[in-house]
Structures are given as C-alpha cells and as structure tokens.
Amino acid sequence: MAIPIRIFPLCRWAGRTLSSQSAGHRREVSLSAKRRFICTSTGNHLQFRLDERTAHSSLDLFKKDTGIIYRMLGLDPSQVQDDPERFREWAVVLGDKTISSGRHYWEVTVKKSQEFRLGVAEALMSRDECVGTSSSSWVFGYAQRKWFAMTGSKVVPVTLVGKPDRVGILLDYDARFVGLVDIEKPRIIHTLGARFTAPVCPAFGLWDGEILTHSGLEEPDGLK
C-alpha cells in the first residue's frame, strides 16, 4: 500500500491571474456567494453543468457548459467579470450542483488532455487555493503520464490505469469516499477517503487541452 507523502503543491499557475495575496490575507468566498449556490442534488442521478462564475480566466466552457478548454494565456483578468466565486489563481472550475448526501456517479472524457484533476471540493473552498492542495478537496489527477490521488497536498500514486479515453467518478457522501472508476470493466480502481463536513460539488482542474463531463448517468453494475 502506498504511503501518502506531503509534497510542494503540484498546481501550476494558470495563464494570467489576478495579483496574488499573502497567505495571511487570502479571502474566503463571501456569504453572498454562499447564497448563490442554490442548486442541490436530490437524487442519485446527478445532473450538473459547469458553473462559469467559478471558472478561472484561463478556462473556456463549451458544449452547453459541460466541457472545458485550457487557454495558456487566458483572458486578461480585468476583462473577466469580478465574482467572489471565481478561482483567482488556479485553473479550476466547479460544477453547479451541491451534494450533501447519497451516492452519485459521473464520467469525464479525458483523451484530449495530458494534465488534469477530477473529483469533488467543498462548494465554499477558498478561491485562492487549488483542488488537491486544499484540504477541502479530494481529486484524482493525471500529469507526466502518471495518475495520483490527492487531498491537502498529500499525494498517493494510482497504478494500473493507463490512459483511458474516459473515466468515471463515484462519490458516496455518506460512506465518505470518492472513487476513480474504470468504465470498461467496470471497477473501482482507487478510493480516496474523505471526512465531509460541508456540501461538496464536482470539481475540475485543467492545464492542458480539453475535457468533457457526462452527468445524469446511472452507476454501472458491480461497483457496490
């Protein structure tokens, strides 16, 4: 069994960003932003789109806000509408549904990207942090032709995955885990334990190419 190790943050600065602030002056999402997260999942067939209000300026959404494209230079932050929900420093975007119970499943086409992260994050995680480095997020990532699981900057290698065109994400909020799913078998490749204390939503980081999300799906047989 691989032992989690603490490393320096793996996130790369994404294109142009707003001026960074010192750690002692980083801002949390405001209460007004909290009130705007009003879409909540009520069933196991989670249907979501990507929330443009949270998307970093280096990310473009397409296909009715279900796909993400990474732009190396991105937009000038001064040309992006100022929103307390927007990620200011990292190429991250969240889904528009919050989850506080139940078991949920979605898939992501990843064949056109060589660096990404997929998983969940607390809806109100700091917009100055990155998914994976924040302890309020739980993700599976791919970089340098290797998979890993990550939360709070703790990284565990994930082996025997290869580079499939499409993978699944299984969230069991009540059982407190997120799983990476091989959709061809199907089987759970790796699980990441989580101590959820607040509503979470689908979360994505992208530093190359594009990915496409697929929600509203039934959980494949054999995963329980």
Q: How many CB atoms lie within 10 A of CB 20?
A: 12
pLDDT tens digit at each of 224 positions of the chain:
443 433 334 555 544 332 233 333 334 444 344 434 435 544 568 999 999 999 999 999 999 999 999 997 655 555 566 778 999 999 999 999 999 999 999 999 999 999 999 999 999 999 999 999 999 999 999 999 999 999 999 999 999 788 999 999 999 999 999 999 999 999 999 999 999 999 999 999 999 999 999 999 999 998 87
Claim: this prediction has a pTM higher than 0.85: no
Q: What local confidence, expressed as pLDDT, does residue 82 receive?
A: 73
Count of positions (residues) in the chain: 224
Query: Cα–Cα distance between 34 and 56 in angstroms, integer?
Result: 18
The three-point CA angle 92-96-102 to 5° equals 110
What pLDDT, on the 0 to 100 scale, is given for residue 36?
43
Sequence-separated (6 or more) residues with CB below 8 Å from residue 117: 131, 132, 139, 140, 141, 142, 150, 203, 204, 205, 206
pLDDT value for 84: 87
List of domains in the chain? 50-214 (2.60.120.920)
Contact 55, 87 (CB under 8 A): yes
Q: What is the DSSP letter of 40?
A: B
pLDDT at 4 (0 to 100): 41
